[in-house]
A and B are shown apart, each in its own frame.
Chain A
Amino acid sequence: MNSPIDTKKDYQEYVDQKSPNSPIWKNCLNAFWVGGLICSIGQIIFSFCMYRGLDETASGTIVSILLIALSAFLTGLNIFNKIGKIAGAGSLIPITGFANSIVAPAMEYKSEGYVMGVGAKMFTVAGPVLVYGISTAIVVGLVYLIFNTQAILV
């Protein structure tokens, strides 16, 4: 009779052997073209804004806002989660994934009320992104203040 640890390990190996694997090549291909497509749409909007005379910062902000609005619209129509099922990281990594992670809890927690549901729980998925992004940015700012880090790669 095997000791319990051996049996547990054997069982885990058996489970891993029998579990169907994610079709990683298909997933990567779908992630590639969906992600590329979303970035290309952003690029077209960006170039159009620059063509119209706006500066880089404003164009970048407009690209973000329009892609976020598109993602919120698709999430509201129950289409985005079907795209996400196929594209995986292709819709998660661009800013559309961030927008979806704010809109989806907002819709879901409506049944708990507008203040305590939508208002309080809107950031259950996207909260960490904001916390770590902003904190890291502050650290970057403070480090820049002390050493001029922009001059590291000349």
Chain B
Amino acid sequence: MSSLERQRAFLDYTLASLVRRKAKNGALVLAYALVVFLIASVMFFSRALRTEGQAVLAGAPELVVQRMLAGRFDTIPASYADSIRRIRGVSEVEPRLWGYYFNRAVGATFTVLGLPDFAHADDEIVAGPAAAKAWTNLQDGRYLFRTFKGDSTGFKPVQVLPEETRLVSADLLIMSETAFRQVFGLPEGQYTDLAVTVRNPQEMQTVTEKIQREHPDTRPIQREEILRTYESVFEWRGGMVIVVFAGAALAFFIFAWDKATGLSAEERHEIGILKALGWDTADVLVMKFWEGLAISLTSFLLGTIAAYAHVFLADAGLFAQALKGWSVLYVDFPLSPVVSPTELLALFFLSVAPYTFITVIPAWRAAITDPDTVMRAS
């Protein structure tokens, strides 16, 4: 009998033995697959979110300069932009206008942007997809705003940003610079912050230090830091969900450990008979190895396929809110299917290898005992 045929014979025997206890083994595969499913889902989802965040924010401003006043974020005068523009290595400084508007009628906060080169009129507005749906206080189809003076002003919606961009634009309201100053009462020459472009990325740290030296009341934020923030947010959230599931995973591991390391009387009896029939200890171990592999590999494949379908085909309905975040304006966004091969390989080895090997140990203990003793003891 060839070696391959011999292994297949072991596999045949093992599978027939598993089928004899199908209810017990079926429940084990289901519970095992469920644990793999939960861990893989969090892993896939968290990776996809991180990749999405990094890809989308790759074009964020290279350096944002805020002004701090009494420890809080304050507006920045245009003179700061002029002096930063003179720093060697800086190619462009763009003063930005943005802020928040709390809409009492809706009970939600919106992000408002004021653009100097707004393509529409001063009484017109461009809305993000969630903002367009949520804004309910309209008068003659115009968005009503309460200005800093307390009077109302209306803006005609002329465009809704594409639904696909909602990950970055859901709550945006874009208006002209004039309209922004009129609504919020921000004086001319004052801006929210500055977006700085540096000619050579290698000089970013030097430019940042120069800005802080010239303007000690500023806080520069580099794009790297923005990207790092989201990396850590999604890692943290993934970790939180794993912690929530840790109880279930631990319960399963105790069950699997107990099942794998403690042989039932029936299994001991079976090993005793096999030994009495002339099986070697090595044969029993190979049989047990196939048993562990059959259960863990099937569970891994079932759990991983279910997790992939759950995250990328069914929008991760089970825990999307915990990982994405939520708010008064509910931001729902699609995710691209991105899986890290390293993480998948780690999941494979962590789910398949331990179970396969722990099933072998008790079988080895039973297999090295005299068959007569094993059968009598069972």
A binds B: no
Taking Cβ atoms with an 8 Å cutoff, the residues of A that contact B are none
